[in-house]
Structure 1
Amino acid sequence: MTSPDSSPRSAASHRSFRQLEVFGELLHSLTTAARREANFPLFLQHRLGRDRRFGSRDRRLYRALTYAAVRHLPWIEAAPPSARALLSLWLAADEPILASLRGELLTDWPPLPASPTDQVALINERLGLALTVDQLFPDWLATEAPALAGPERDRLLTRSPLWLRLQTPDPQPVLTWLATEGIPFRRHPLLADALALLIETDVASSALHEAGAFEIQDIGSQLILALARPQPGTRWLDACAGAGGKTLQLARRLGPTGSVDATDIRPAALAELRTRATRAKVTNVTVLAPGAAGHRPYDGVLVDAPCSGSGTWRRSPHLRWRTTPAELRRQHERQLAILSAHAPLVRPGGRLIYATCSLARTENEGTVAAFLSANPEFRVVPPVEALGCAVNEFGTAILPAAHDGDAFFVSLLERS
């Protein structure tokens, strides 16, 4: 990186150069933390928040640069230290907040190619390196997720858009508000309630969100219940409800004559679920303390199981550098125990829905196969509609390229 022309040096150029220089000073500690910190987003928030030099725009700018670096961590680490900040900026072409920096500081760099293969070829030529695209993925991915190849795998290097799920029968107030605010969006072709925002913006603080008109929920997560098709008027348990994104979606699908009992081992998550249910004016959800009996047996039980989170690499790229085969095996054992514990709560003829946000066969097909071996009264049933997803004998994979969201796996298990 070279300093902008100082004769005369514009204030904007000087500011841009200094911002990238500061990022270069931060970069080593941030990339080290990406490999070490289990909650890297929180670490990054605290690290940028406690630096009094940074205003809110600075923090957003450095966050965007950091995530570009973390997505391409082996490339950044292999580059000469003096080139790492500028390389991070070049790789962050999809970040609007960096447009000014790119215009000021990348004048002698070509536009970023769409293909990672073309990107790495250009980096190798300019910096004299021998990098590969394969370096951007852990070695275990090829065996754990063989369906991820070429463009499907490369999609994991890009950021997901923010997806909304409409909570009201009439979408027009939300659509009108988005148009008035100048927020571009696109509707999902298969899910009428789903829409993607095409720019990064804060919608969580909007009046419509506070009024319960929509929830923020990734399209992959929304597709789980679209594939499962829980029937109106039935009784369900959401066994790993978390903060309740799928709980609210499930409650809406079941309608006023259906009901959802929701529980989780984390009291703070259940408190957030209560807040969200109140905001969404949902009245057919009962929040249960962990271990409470509920209205068993249920017509259906949803187990959105704890997992490695490898399906969320587009949003959480640091997880790509932390997940190991040993972690996949630990999660598999945990998932199998949770499934087995909740199987007796399903009535004969009812459904046990197993879902993860993982790419790994160990956590997905492997967990389902082990469960079926120990519970022969259950069988996998295919979804009525595949909705553009990949169906196999153990379940359905929701992959990023088909719907531009995170990756999920869902298995529909019916009790005889």
Structure 2
Amino acid sequence: MTPGARIAAAIAVLDRILAGEPAEKALVNWARNSRFAGSGDRSAVRDHVFDALRRMRSASALGGGRWPEATSGRSLMLGVIRAQGGDEAALFNGQGHAPAAVSEDESPRNPEGLEALDCPDWLAPQLREALGPQFEVVMAALQSRAPVFLRVNLRLSDVDGARRILAAEEIETRPHPLSATALEVVSGAKKIARSEAYLNGVVELQDVASQAVVAALDLQDGQRVLDFCAGGGGKSLAMAALADLQIDAHDISYARMSDLPARAARARAEVTLKDTASLSGGYDLVLADAPCSGSGAWRRQPDARWRLDAAGLARLTALQAEVLSNASDQVAPGGRLAYATCSMLEAENGAQVAAFLAANPDYRLLRDLRLTPADGGDGFYMALLQRD
């Protein structure tokens, strides 16, 4: 595909997303119906789409539209190209499969205020409250692609050794101050999935903030640990690499953990999968990484920013309260409960913990951790609670 044809494909995908189709589904459907597109084409179209979704409001303005009522895939891509300083005349020329040439009524409009920051109006007060003076810095960071981070499996290598192994396969990395196990990928990210370091369990893909959350759990050898909302099991494996633990992984959707046994074997870790009926309590530590808005990870899932509404946030906070309550039932007397989200909203973080503590006087807050994209990785929150 030519560069212009890739832009046209991204426009078609964005129009489907604007019509209500989830981003991943729209991309998969386009790829299935575009057998002519090679892996490089699919990757380029995906990058274009995600660049546009991260900048939905500002790109629409720069492309001559107005979000949301007068926005199209074309205005979004035109705005992205203008924001990036691209050659719009070469990409929008109507030749071959490229989009039609730019018309006079598609003149750019400079975005202002929340529009320039790509912040939903209704969420701005909550984000300002949570982020304080970092509000504009964090919102600006969310407009760009997230860095790629690896977690070094300390059971199999140290950080310097992992860097050497990766460098031999032309994957350049550097340590990151947020976590002692983290490597930020500088170049060669597309080679990771086929690299020996990854296939042999020396490294795993994991955001640096997620690694920092696990490091803050104060894990001790011999503990019995429950990863209550395990999902794919990334935090289970990160915990297993830091201490000799008895780790059980649970998720309300057991199928989400289907890849975890193979990943654990690759990492030389022991993790036992548990369904709800088999949970018996008595854990020294329960980690509840609860479902959330994902506002801290909007760089990776940019359409979530625009799909979230007040009703959806209310449903999430109700679910989080239920998760906290259920997870606390699994904590042994004298044990600890860690509540985590990849959100930056106080309603999902500190307010949830405060409500839980008010209803559960046998728990007390030991400490909490708040990270934002301004710290380098995703936005994360973690509260560590002690059960007396």
TM exceeding 0.5: yes
Alpha-carbon distance in structure 2 between the residues aligned to 1:170 and 1:28:
46
Alignment of 1:335-374 (within 5 A): 335-374=320-359
Deviation per CA, 1:22-59: give whole Å up to 9, x if none.
Answer: 52365154244157234x22431331342133222111
Aligned to 1:221: 210
Aligned to 2:97: none
From 33, 37, 43, the equivalent of 1:50 is 33
Aligned to 1:96: none
Structure 2 residue 112 is matched with structure 1 residue 132? yes
How far apart are residue 290 of structure 1 and its match?
Answer: 2.7
Structure 2 residue 254 is matched with structure 1 residue 254? no
Report if aligned partners of 1:20, 1:85 keep a CA contact under 8 Å in 2.
Answer: no
Structure 2 residue 356 is matched with structure 1 residue 411? no
From 226, 247, 250, the equivalent of 1:237 is 226
Alignment of 1:191-230 (within 5 A): 191-199=179-187, 200-230=189-219
Alpha-carbon distance in structure 2 between the residues aligned to 1:300 and 1:326:
32
- RMSD between superposed Cα atoms in Å: 2.5
Alpha-carbon distance in structure 2 between the residues aligned to 1:204 and 1:154:
30
Which amino acid letter does the alignment assign opposite residue 274 of structure 1? P
How far apart are residue 316 of structure 1 and its match?
Answer: 1.1
Give the SS at the match of 2:276.
coil
Which amino acid letter does the alignment assign opposite residue 287 of structure 2? L
Which amino acid letter does the alignment assign opposite residue 313 of structure 1? W
Which amino acid letter does the alignment assign opposite residue 143 of structure 1? P
Report if aligned partners of 1:398, 1:408 keep a CA contact under 8 Å in 2.
Answer: yes
Residue 44 to residue 233, structure 1, CA distance change in 2 (3 Å): same
Identity of aligned residues (%): 35
Residues paired across the two proteins, number: 356
Residue 226 to residue 359, structure 1, CA distance change in 2 (3 Å): same
Alpha-carbon distance in structure 1 between the residues aligned to 2:89 and 2:263:
43
Aligned to 1:23: 7
Alpha-carbon distance in structure 2 between the residues aligned to 1:22 and 1:346:
52
Structure 2 residue 131 is matched with structure 1 residue 142? no
Aligned to 2:297: 312
Q: Name structure 1 gaps, 5 residues minimum.
A: 1-14, 94-100, 107-125, 383-394
Report if aligned partners of 1:35, 1:322 keep a CA contact under 8 Å in 2.
Answer: no
Alpha-carbon distance in structure 1 between the residues aligned to 2:360 and 2:77:
53
Alpha-carbon distance in structure 2 between the residues aligned to 1:67 and 1:350:
42
Give the SS at the match of 1:299.
strand
Aligned to 2:176: 188
From 355, 364, 368, the equivalent of 1:379 is 364
From 165, 170, 186, the equivalent of 1:177 is 165
How far apart are residue 315 of structure 1 and its match?
Answer: 0.9
Residue 46 to residue 128, structure 1, CA distance change in 2 (3 Å): closer
Report if aligned partners of 2:295, 2:305 keep a CA contact under 8 Å in 1.
Answer: yes
Report if aligned partners of 2:13, 2:49 keep a CA contact under 8 Å in 1.
Answer: no
Q: Name structure 2 gaps, 5 residues minimum.
A: 65-71, 92-105
Alpha-carbon distance in structure 2 between the residues aligned to 1:92 and 1:247:
39
Give the SS at the match of 1:405.
coil
Give the SS at the match of 1:203.
helix
Aligned to 1:65: 48
What TM-score do the two structures reach when normalised by structure 2? 0.84
Which amino acid letter does the alignment assign opposite residue 325 of structure 1? A
Alpha-carbon distance in structure 2 between the residues aligned to 1:247 and 1:34:
36
Give the SS at the match of 2:121.
coil
How far apart are residue 341 of structure 1 and its match?
Answer: 1.4
Structure 2 residue 138 is matched with structure 1 residue 152? yes
Higher mean alpha-carbon deviation, 174-183 vs 152-161, is at 174-183
Deviation per CA, 1:312-361: give whole Å up to 9, x if none.
Answer: 10111111111112211111111111111121221222110000011211
Which amino acid letter does the alignment assign opposite residue 35 of structure 2? R
Aligned to 2:275: 289
Aligned to 1:328: 313
Residue 64 to residue 339, structure 1, CA distance change in 2 (3 Å): same
Give the SS at the match of 2:252.
coil
What TM-score do the two structures reach when normalised by structure 1? 0.79
How far apart are residue 76 of structure 1 and its match?
Answer: 3.3
Aligned to 2:68: none
